[in-house]
Amino acid sequence: MALFDLGYAAHEYKTSRTSYRGTSLQQFYEAFPTDDACLDHMFRVRFLKHGCPKCGGFGDWYRLEGLRSFHHQQCHSNRSPTADTLLNGTQIPLQLWFYAMLHFSNSAHGLSRTFVQRHLGIAQHPAFRMGRQIRYQMAALDDKTMLGGQDTPVFVRLETIRPIIRRAKGRHGSARILIANDGSAVKTVVIARSTPKHLRDALTIKAYPDSQLVTDCPSAFKLMSDASSWRQVQYQSPVLGLHSDLQHQNYGFLKYFQLMFRTQYKSISHHRLWLYLKEAEFRYSRRARSHETFWDLVSQFPVLTPERKQALADRNVFGCL
C-alpha cells in the first residue's frame, strides 16, 4: 500500500523568499514512492556512482530477492547500501526514514523526539535514535567544507549558550560555542575550555589557513591574539559597520539556534550540544536555497560507524567536557 500517495501531482510552492521554500510531500512521493525506491537510490549513490566498496568495480550487480542487499558478480560479494550508514541495521521501513529526513529538512526549528514518535507511530527509543542518526548524517555531509580562503574574511565570535544539562552532575549549566561564517556558510564548535590552543585548533579545522579572521568579540580577539605563530586577527568594533553582513549572519545564526533550542529541544546534554549545532548549521547555511536542503540530505550516505562518529565529535568539541 502506498504510504504517501495524496492523489495529486507533485508541486512545489515557489516564492521569492527563498528561505520559505521546501520540498513538498508530493515531490517526495514522486521520487520515493516505495521502500525499494529508497533502497535503489542508496544503491545508486553508494555503489553505482563510487564503485563496489570491496573491489572498486562498476556494473554487474543484481538485487538479492527479499533482502536489502545486492550481489556484485565481479568480486562475488553481497553488499547492503544501508550498511554502515545512518540506516545501519534498522528495522524501520526506509521510506519512513526518508520521510523523517524530509521533515527535518522542511522544519524551521527541528523536531522533538515526541513529535517524531507521534508522527511516525514509532516507540520512544527508535524516535530518539532516528533524530540522532539524522543529525550525524548532517554533520558528516558538511564536515569537509571549510570557510574563507584568500581574500575571503571569516567572522568569528564566542557565545554562551544556557542552560545546558551537564552530563555528570545533572545540573543546569552553560556552554561556550564558537560561531564563524564567511557569508556563505556558518560553522560552529563547542569550546569546553577557552584557551588559545583550543581556539586555534578549532579554526584550523573550520577555516582555510589563508583566510583573514575578523571579530568584534573582545574575548575571542584576546584568545586568538595570544596564540603564538598564529595568523593575523583583525578586531572590528561593532559600531564601525565593516563586514556588517558577516556580523549579521553570525547573530542571525545565534538567534536561530536559540529559538530552536527553546522551542524544540529545551535542554540538551553538554556532550550532545555539538550535534544539535550541526543540525542548525545544515539548515541555516542553506536558507537561501532551502528547497534543496532535503535533496542535499539524501545526496550522499557517508559512513557512520562508531569510529567515524567519534571522529566527528572530536572535530567539533575542543577541550575535555
CB of 54 vs Zn ion, minimal distance in Å: 4
- C-beta of residue 260 within 8 angstroms of C-beta of residue 161: no
Site for Zn ion contains 55 (CB under 5 A): yes
Site for Zn ion contains 50 (CB under 5 A): no
CB nearer to Zn ion: give 54 or 255. 54
Element housing 249 (H / E): helix 244-260
CB nearer to Zn ion: give 60 or 226. 60
| The only residue of 38, 39, 42, 52 in contact with Zn ion, by rule CB under 5 A | 52
CB nearer to Zn ion: give 146 or 303. 303
CB nearer to Zn ion: give 78 or 244. 78
3-state SS assignment for residue 40 = helix
CB nearer to Zn ion: give 75 or 321. 75
CA distance 60 to 72: 6
Of all residues in the shown chain, the one whose CB is closest to Zn ion is: 52
Q: What is the DSSP string of 155-222?
A: EEEEEEEEEEE-TTT--EEEEEEEEEE-SS-EEEEEESS--HHHHHHHHHHHB-TTSPEEE--HHHHH
CB of 60 vs Zn ion, minimal distance in Å: 8
CB of 306 vs Zn ion, minimal distance in Å: 25
What backbone torsions phi and psi does residue 297 show, to the nearest 5 degrees? -65, -30
CB nearer to Zn ion: give 75 or 83. 75
CB of 38 vs Zn ion, minimal distance in Å: 22
Q: Which of 137, 53, 50 is nearest to 90 (CA)?
A: 137
CB of 74 vs Zn ion, minimal distance in Å: 5
CB of 49 vs Zn ion, minimal distance in Å: 14
CB under 8 Å to 78, separation ≥6 — which residues? 64, 67, 69, 70, 71, 72
Taking CB under 5 A as the rule, which mask of x and - marks residues 58-97 in contact with Zn ion?
--------------x-xx----------------------
Site for Zn ion contains 47 (CB under 5 A): no
CB of 137 vs Zn ion, minimal distance in Å: 25
Element housing 309 (H / E): helix 306-314
| The only residue of 54, 162, 167, 266 in contact with Zn ion, by rule CB under 5 A | 54
CB of 40 vs Zn ion, minimal distance in Å: 18
By CB under 5 A, the count of residues binding Zn ion is 7
Q: What is the DSSP string of 272-299?
A: GHHHHHHHHHHHHTTGGGGGGHHHHHTS
CB nearer to Zn ion: give 84 or 201. 84
- C-beta of residue 266 within 8 angstroms of C-beta of residue 305: no
CA distance 75 to 57: 8
Our CA dihedral for 188, 190, 193, 195, rounded to 10 degrees, sits at -10
Q: Where do contacts with Zn ion occur on this chain (CB under 5 A)? A: 52, 54-55, 57, 72, 74-75
